Amino acid sequence: MTKRFEADYDVAVCGGGAAGVAAAIGAAKAGAKVCLVEKYGFLGGAATTSQVYAYCGLFQQGVEPKRAVAGVAAEVTDELKTHGLDGEAYRSETTGNWIVLLDGEVLKFALDNLVRSYGIDVKLHTRVASVARTADRLEAITLAGMGGRTRVAAEAFVDASGDANLAMLAGVPFQIGDGEGKLQALTMPIRIGGIDRDLRIDRAALQAAIARYNGKGAYPIQRTDGGSSSGCPCRTTCGG
């Protein structure tokens, strides 16, 4: 594999999830030349790769949704509206949180449009593979992509990898879990197509199925209340 040098950037962001997109756009708005690196073929992070199909935390809890986070998050929800999602706050019946429902494919497209509008240099199918550093600072990162390896220098680097991958490569101290090695329990999202959008999920039946499985399953499901469910919010591109 050949190793090439590219033009320098002011800011290089590792990871194209919610944090990486926000960091990249924030830096571009401040006038920086920005490179955004994502190992998968699309942006969104957990919201697209892991089917976490709701943005939580943009609104305060309460009877009415009161916006708590604006900025890039509001630009993302506005962009979603131009692609057929309503981008409004819905109250989750299980948690009481106000959430914005997503469709993964629409979100990928909306994020592509948004970062392109800010002139951000997005590198998909590309991972930050190693770093070059002095004692005090990162000097460059090596990107491994479909075309081989590329070395990118920048004035500032953002670790938005979701799991401190850049910090690990740079040899910066980090901790896994809560200090006792405990990690947050996994969520198991599933997406079902071909059913009526207005069909009501029978929570009692779901709870009974989970109880039956937990009676004999090797890996009991910790959340026994039937979880959260939502109809596909997309009004134009999906039939779910």
- Extract the tokens encoding 66: 């009161």
Distance separating alpha carbons of residues 222 and 185, to the nearest angstrom: 8
Q: Write the CB contacts of 186 (distance below 8 Å, at least 6 apart in sequence).
A: none
Sign for the pseudo-dihedral over CA of 209, 215, 216, 222: positive
Q: Is 19 in the site for ligand FAD (CB under 6 A)?
A: yes
The pattern of x and - marking residues 54 through 93 that bind ligand FAD according to CB under 6 A reads: xxxx------------------------------------
The pattern of x and - marking residues 22 through 41 that bind ligand FAD according to CB under 6 A reads: ---------------xxxx-
Give the helix ranges, DSSP H, for 63-142.
Answer: 71-81, 104-117
Distance of CA 218 to the CA centre of its chain: 30
Q: Is 138 in the site for ligand FAD (CB under 6 A)?
A: no
How many residues appear in the chain? 240
Query: In angstroms, what is the minimal distance from the CB of 189 to ligand FAD?
Result: 9
- Adjacent-strand bridge partners of 14: 37, 159
* Footprint on residues 154-213 left by ligand FAD (CB under 6 A): 160-162, 165, 184, 186-187
Q: Is 128 in the site for ligand FAD (CB under 6 A)?
A: yes
Terminal C-alpha separation, the chain: 44
Q: Is 98 in the site for ligand FAD (CB under 6 A)?
A: no
Q: Which is nearer to ligand FAD, 96 or 239 (CB)?
A: 96
Site residues (vs ligand FAD, CB under 6 A): 14-20, 37-40, 45-46, 49, 52, 54-57, 127-128, 160-162, 165, 184, 186-187
